[in-house]
Amino acid sequence: MRLGELEQHTREAQTIDKTRSSTVVTVLVMACTLLSRLLGFVRIAVIGALFGASGTADVWNAVFTIPNNLRKLMAEGALSSAFIPSLSASLVEDDSGLEARLITRKVISLQLLILVPLVILCALFARQVVGILLAFPDAQKMQLSVSLFRWVFAYLFFISLSAVLMAVLNSHGIFVIPALAPILFSVCVISATLIFYRLLGIYSMVVGVLGGGIAQILCQLPRFLRMGYDFQPDFVFRHERFRGILKAWLPVLGSAAIFAVTQQIAVLFASGLEDGSTSALSYALVFFQLPFGIFSISIITVLFPRMSRQAARRDTEGLSESVSYGLRYLMLLLVPAALAYILMGEQIITVALQRRAFTAAGTLRTSRVLTGYSLGLFSLGGFTFLQRFFYSKHDFKKPLIGALVVSVSDILLSLWLKETRLRVTGLAVANSIAFTGGFILLLVWTRMTLGTLRRRAIFLTVGRMAASLLPFVAFILLYNRFSRQFWTPGSSLRNLFLLLAQVLAGAAILLGMYWLLGVEVVKDLRRRKGRS
């Protein structure tokens, strides 16, 4: 009996140690994602300065949303969510990697069969597609939308192929190289816009987006090929594991399609509101996705393959620790980020965007939308993470039902709130409420599936986080009050310095409190540093 208990304790210790070792890898991925998102800020600052917060910028933001949403069906969303668990399981069962290379060829071949005809058809029938998805009252805006759409839709092909390479590398435990790919994308867009703006106008963005899509493939290609993978066509789809991927992909595709349609409906609603509403929605989403991308996506990127391997080994103890650790990690990072946006959103938008064609009215509208989204930042991160938990167990029904609940709630609330005084901000508030409900639903199902969520550890984390947030929020409020006399409207070096001082000091206070109170993530980093 004692021997059995000893073995169980050993397995638990190994599981916890492996999960904690993910912290260092996650931090590296976060660093790459941070650089990518900062470049994303530069990208939207360039767009805002050159094209403003309405007019042409409205058109570009609305058009680019279409392939950007569809990539969640064929790229890092649906296909990767179905592909990674099967690829991870094949690597567990077959160390040679032959099976993994075979199903990868089939996945790429399937993408070619779907995407090449789709891109061609959308180019031929661009007017009809845009007429369904966008509702600009200005005929010139609609005409520009059609023209831009014909060119930029090809981005979907490049980003989808890049996502397969990323899924393969992640399944092999390689995370940093794929995390560098979005950095190249932003560099390409910024460079092309600045170089070709005078010659091509808004079409300089098309050059940057297509060039950035190709660059993301080239970044990952050498490592992909060195591991023995290739692009040899394989259209023989009668393969058990590949058919399992297709079977899994359909419900995941359903979930992703529901969200893509819902987001496109939000753009449709925004395009029918006051001029500048679409841009406010798009710009706010870029800022909102900074902490979501850096923290949530980085954590999911590292833990999703791990959970898939644990599920393949039927390691319930390991899964429970991974889920609990992931949720605690998300809470410690996303809740403070949301509070920072709510309390400092207007200053952030002012410094980042308010120059030249981007006016104070655009800043105010965008900051209000950002506040609305921030209310649901942790809920979105938690919902997305728990989706991946169920995907790792090949349970695709619950995430699909959750997606339906979120989307129906989002659309109904949006129809109501956009007609109130909130206007475009109402679309963001509706999204936050809907994801909060969806997260609670998936959390209940996760508890029922695992039997435990290590509630004691979660409650301890909540308590320590709450205590840490008190001085953090107090500092931000006091700083806002006493810095008003130095603040001047618009983007300037003085305002940039004031904002950086506030952000850095606030972060130092929060991390200091986390360290004093023994928050787990900080302890893990210190432990790993001590071992190295």
Q: Does 29 map to a domain?
A: no
Tens-digit pLDDT profile for residues 335-374: 999 999 999 999 999 988 887 777 888 888 999 999 999 9
Range of the domain at 242: 52-266
Look at residue 276 and give its three-state secondary structure.
Answer: coil
Q: Is residue 240 part of a domain?
A: yes
- 202 in a structural domain: yes
pTM: 0.73
- Is residue 239 within 8 Å of 230, Cβ to Cβ? no
Listing DSSP states for 202-269 in one string gives THHHHHHHHHHHHHHHHHHHHHHHHTT-----------HHHHHHHHHHHHHHHHHHHHHHHHHHHHHH
Residue found under tokens 């403003």: 52
CA nearest neighbour of 14 among 321, 252, 250, 251: 321
Residue 289, classified by CB atoms within 10 Å of its CB into exposed (0-12), middle (13-18) or buried (19+), is: middle
pLDDT at 11: 47
Domain annotation covers residue 218: yes
Q: Quick check: is 326 in a domain? A: no
In sequence order, what E strands does 259-402 have?
A: none
100 located within any domain: yes
pLDDT at res. 415: 93
Task: Using 50 as the pLDDT threshold, list the residues of the chain that sit under it.
Answer: 1-16, 19, 529-532
Q: CB under 8 Å to 50, separation ≥6 — which residues? A: 193, 197, 356, 357
Number of domains observed in the structure of the chain: 1
Residue 526: inside a domain, yes or no? no
Please list, in sequence order, all residues whose beta carbon lies within 8 angstroms of the beta carbon of residue 96, skipping any fewer than 6 positions away. none
Q: Tens of pLDDT along 60-100?
A: 878 887 887 777 666 555 566 677 777 777 787 777 778 88
Given CA atoms 198, 202, 208, 211 in this order, what sign does their dihedral have? negative
Residue 220 lies in a domain: yes
Report residue 395 as tokens: 């349970």
Please report the pLDDT score of residue 6 as a whole number.
Answer: 44
Q: How many C-beta atoms surround the C-beta of residue 154 within 10 A?
A: 18
pLDDT of residue 77: 54
Quick one: pLDDT at residue 448? 92
